[in-house]
Structure 1
Amino acid sequence: MEPVVTRLSEAHAPHIDPRRPSPRRIDAMTTPPAAASTIVVGAGIVGAATALYLARAGVEVTLIERYEPGAGASGRNAGYISMITRSAGPQLELARLSRKLYPELADELDDFEFRANGALVYYYDEQVPLIEGFVERRRADGLPIDVVDGDRARELCPLLPDEVIGGIHSRSDCYIHPGKLVEALVAAAVKEGARLVIDDAVELQVDSGRCIGIRTATGLLTADTVALTAGSWTAELMTRAGLPFHLLHMRMQMVETAPIDDRFDVAAYGPSLFHEYAFVRELPGYDDDIVLHPLQQIMPEVGLLELICQRADGRLWLGCPIEFVDGPDASPAPTVAGMAQTFGVLGDHVPALQHLAVERTWGGIAPQTGDGLPVISAVPALPGLFVGSGLAYGATVGPASARVLADLVIGREPDIDVAAFRYDRPAITEGMARSATLG
């Protein structure tokens, strides 16, 4: 039986976009059971993995999803597992835990195109003043980094032109197919005994100062604990319960081309990537003029990761332009500005892309916190409620966030220090302006 969407709010309907890559639909219940030990709200990467880890621990789990697994940012992102862009400290430690978990998941789950051959940041003469300081910083942070010449860069990514003089090969980076990952996680969670319910979580249910479940479009579902992993919609559900939760929202956009004959197994990034991270902009030798394409200088409101990666079928994914939007109900559809930067910058830097057929474009709304750190935490003001949200780089840290969240729900000590991810910090309860596109 295919899962049936019990309720689709017209306000959210644009997020069901046939142009995005989507996992196959997974058998689901159309109405929730009366009770569950733990309810997980939102079947993206974090929610699906949380349900899996809880089910494996013997917890009775119900996974609630409004549309279909991966319908939000989890099924719409580029799928990069980026160590090289994580700032030292809690961000990088969380990413390292995910990097440890991904090979295990690749062995256990259905194929989700896990590729562990690293990332290549290619560069030109203009970026040389920045490269030494960047590499020194990343090596000091414990990342396995190689600096390669132009010939080796072209061996790693044959599309690169002769003008590329070198590259930074981050050997611990990898990438995945995000839609296939969500599908595999949900299927594994269901196999372990979790229940998937397609329904609309309308509000948290509170009784005597405790979260006792959720009210859906079709009724009340009670539970001992609720894990809220609803991505950009987390803030809306928290606010309805009287709990402040400040998030920023980003439209992230992608392009898919027709298959090409050349094959490569690294995620390739151009120099625009350096601009998107605060710790890089603070390095000696950094200057906007040496990393930004002229097209970006006239569209400063749009960020660009300047990414090229290849899927198993030979198609290329290009992106990913980033625009801040007012909220989760903004259209995820790609914009003229976003596509102009994608085609203009990548087409200029990598001329081999210029005449490829474009088969699909899509976008998604991703959440980010003001301090660049996710929330993976109990909510002290409302016992029984746990939150895993604000993961702008959710593919990178999704499995680790889910593992930590599951540990917190069952009262097990997490593998890493989670103090920095607590809910009750000013960036979440009071709000703050962003300091960088992706932290």
Structure 2
Amino acid sequence: MTVVWKFGGTSVGSPEKLRAVARRLVEAHRQGHRVVAVLSAMGDTTDDLVRRAYEVAVRPQPRELDALLSVGEATSCALAAMAVHELGERAISFNGRQAGFHTDDAHGNASLLRMDPQRVAQALDEGFIVLVTGYQGTSSGDDVTTLGRGGSDASAIALAAALGLQQCDIYTDVPGVFTADPRVVPAARRLDRLGHEEMLQLAEAGAQVLQTRAVELAAKHRVDIHVRSTFTAAEGTWIRREATVFEQAHITGVAHRRRDAVYTVRGLSPATVSGALAQRGAAIGSMMPEAGRLRFTAPGAEVQDVVAAVAEAGAVAEVRDDLGSVSVVCPAVGNRPEISARMLAVLERGGIEPQLVTSTPGRVSCHVGTEVVDRAAELLHDEFDLHAEPVGERG
């Protein structure tokens, strides 16, 4: 059986952890599996490279920034291949181009156009353990591109689908998906099973377990995701292809972003702002046209990139960077107005004043002061009793 496993930055964050990953790959190989591992950059490597780029340039060229950031994953894969060889098995590492990831030319947030994993399949046929760089591909002009922050998740899902698999395992430093970030809400409960749509809403609201695009790819190609701990053999959370009955759905969880800036521009249309951000690989979260100005959010985008994009469009962005966001995720929230009412009431009782409230069919989000985001998440988790097992929960 062929398996595609993805290991995040914390899972390969040191030589010792890389060797532990290599041992897991070798063990699976010796049990008869054909093993592909997609690796992230080690630890905080990507953040360090971004910092270095902005130390030498106010506005780094997107093409060169992608060339720089791709180094991290290549390092992880080469070192992991060496560790596998040290254990007596054969391994080979491939970068995005070699593994067949073909993208458009949108540096910083490229879209996958097609997959051609011929070299990966050939190496598996020859008995190699295959290490593939996550987060990157190659454009039509043969330039290195990157797939946005957390893009290694998308790399793994896309590769699994291209190899004809119906499952992809995502190994990380937590044992699954929780009803909230357990580092912020100690009472958070691990979820055994989710639907793709539920996980998508959590990811869009700030849960950092999976990249949004990866979940979208999994849903499109009908790939089940198993999010599990790198450091144990225990079952994690299964994200499966089953549909949710919206009218009977439970509240899935609470997600947050400690930093979620709100921007204000004058003199630009919504289309102009959206287009300018798209050229920088950023997307609009919510947009509020008002008299003479436009307020918007760009979740996950770097503030300096948003400001630069607006400047290139001929305007100056005012930034409220002292805000974060907290969201209650429930696929049925559009049919349950009491959820929004309870959310706002519990924040008011806690002395937390929302600066902006937005809703989608799958979640309600409030922007609040950065310093109270964690407390807001705890209050909401407790308000909706998410620490308790819901009656009739699936799985």
- TM-score for the superposition, normalised by structure 2: 0.27
- By relative contact order (CA 8 Å, sep 6+), the higher-ranking structure is 1
- TM-score for the superposition, normalised by structure 1: 0.25
